[in-house]
């Protein structure tokens, strides 16, 4: 069945969902987006995603042509149009149609489109057996050049690192900052479990303030486990008791091998498993209802 796509205020068939070749989102990666999940007929943490969308748009001086209330309803309506109860939502706002120059003033109106579909980022076996990852030679974009905290359409830095993982035959890769600290993975945040605490890179090192990342920090606090945001290098990863990744699409997924080195016992650790169970219980009951 053809998907229904929200495009500039209308719900159109997938085959008719088209943007101009002069759209600056296409020509220059000038735009912002959010990846959002729906579980059990609810859109998880929709308000937090919209806040990040507006923050990213404000950072690049892009005026979103809908109010937050209208955008919320557009997301829910797109889910309803596709009879979605569990799935993935991609919300995109581009600078809009302009000319072949860079000047954003030549784009009179932004383009907004929303896709709601099913997703399976990793096979289920990876959640049970864990991921093998490598360290990428491509360094994370420096925050003083382009702040990775802005969730923009310019993802070439991540894609270059992803190409390395594809060529290495592994599903994910760790990206380091320009001075050698662990930043994040090509599409996920990273957590390292030590003896009595958990550590994740701070956002200023060059990683995204992930929505799922924050959910995990909150869940750890409820468990009475300290979650630190601190700088660390690869040695901390290699010697960790457990390593796991988080992301909207990935959720929480264990890492068992990094650069050929086994992590902990080489299998999903008890804390990672406990977090996965707590996360899955949370997302089944929390969120903006799609169907009243």
Convert the pLDDT of each residue in 8-29 to its tens digit.
999 999 999 999 999 999 999 9
Domain region containing 133: 124-283
The verdict on 145 and 165 lying in the same domain is: yes
Phi and psi at residue 67, to the nearest 5°: -75, 165
Cβ neighbours of residue 84 closer than 8 Å, sequence gap 6 or more = 38, 116, 117, 118, 290
Q: Mean of the pLDDT values across residues 113-127?
A: 92
Q: Using the 3D structure, point to which of 92, 117, 142 is the last residue of a domain.
A: 117
The verdict on 227 and 277 lying in the same domain is: yes
Which CATH number does the domain housing residue 140 bear?
A: 3.20.10.10
The verdict on 48 and 190 lying in the same domain is: no
Give me 44's structure tokens.
């998880």
Strand, coil or helix: 279: helix
Report yes or no on 135 lying in a domain.
yes
Which residue has 């007929």 as its token pair? 41
Q: How confident is the model at residue 131 (pLDDT cuts 50, 70, 90)?
A: very high
pLDDT of residue 149: 82
Q: Note the pLDDT tens digit of each residue in 219-241.
A: 999 999 999 999 999 999 999 99
Instruction: State how far the Cα of 192 lies from the Cα of 234, in Å rounded to an integer.
Output: 10
Q: Which of 149, 68, 63 is nearest to 107 (CA)?
A: 63
pLDDT of residue 119: 86
The verdict on 136 and 224 lying in the same domain is: yes
Report yes or no on 291 lying in a domain.
no
Q: Mean of the pLDDT values across residues 89-109?
A: 98
Catalytic residue numbers, as ranges? 151
Q: Mean of the pLDDT values across residues 159-163?
A: 98
The verdict on 139 and 48 lying in the same domain is: no
The verdict on 138 and 254 lying in the same domain is: yes
Q: Mean of the pLDDT values across residues 65-73?
A: 98
The verdict on 167 and 257 lying in the same domain is: yes
Residue 182, class by beta-carbon neighbours within 10 Å (0-12 exposed, 13-18 middle, 19+ buried)?
buried
Measured torsion, CA atoms of residues 62, 68, 73, 74, in degrees rounded to the nearest 10: 0
Report yes or no on 232 lying in a domain.
yes
Q: Using the 3D structure, point to which of 81, 101, 117 is the last residue of a domain.
A: 117
| Total count of domains within the chain | 2
Report yes or no on 292 lying in a domain.
no
pLDDT of residue 204: 87
Q: Using the 3D structure, point to which of 69, 95, 117 is the last residue of a domain.
A: 117
pTM of this structure: 0.95
Q: Mean of the pLDDT values across residues 130-154?
A: 92
Which CATH number does the domain housing residue 88 bear?
A: 3.30.470.10
């Amino acid at each position: 069945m053809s998907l229904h796509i929200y495009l500039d205020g209308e719900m159109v068939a997938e085959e008719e969902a088209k943007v101009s070749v002069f759209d600056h989102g296409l020509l220059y990666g000038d735009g912002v987006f959010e990846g959002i999940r729906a579980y059990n007929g609810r859109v998880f943490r929709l308000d937090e995603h919209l806040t990040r969308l507006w923050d990213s748009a404000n950072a690049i001086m892009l005026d979103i042509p809908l109010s937050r209330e209208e955008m919320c309803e557009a997301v829910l309506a797109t889910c309803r149009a596709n009879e979605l109860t569990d799935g993935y939502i991609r919300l995109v706002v581009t600078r809009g149609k302009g000319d072949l120059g860079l000047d954003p003033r030549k784009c009179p109106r932004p383009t907004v489109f929303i896709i709601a579909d099913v997703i399976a980022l990793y096979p289920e076996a990876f959640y049970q057996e864990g991921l093998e990852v490598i360290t990428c030679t491509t360094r994370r974009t420096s925050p003083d050049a382009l702040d990775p905290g802005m969730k923009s359409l310019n993802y070439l830095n991540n894609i270059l690192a992803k190409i390395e993982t594809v060529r290495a035959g592994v599903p994910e890769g760790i990206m380091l900052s320009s001075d050698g600290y662990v930043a994040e993975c090509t599409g996920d945040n990273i957590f390292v479990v030590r003896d009595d605490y958990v550590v994740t890179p701070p956002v200023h090192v060059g990683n995204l303030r992930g929505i799922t990342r924050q959910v995990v920090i909150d869940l750890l606090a409820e468990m009475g486990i300290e979650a630190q945001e601190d700088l660390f290098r690869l040695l901390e990863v290699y010697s960790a008791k457990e390593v796991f990744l988080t992301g909207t699409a990935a959720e929480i997924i264990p890492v068992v091998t990094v650069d050929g080195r086994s992590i902990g016992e080489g299998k999903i650790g008890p804390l990672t498993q406990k977090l996965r169970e707590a996360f899955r219980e949370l997302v089944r009951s929390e969120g903006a209802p799609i169907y009243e």
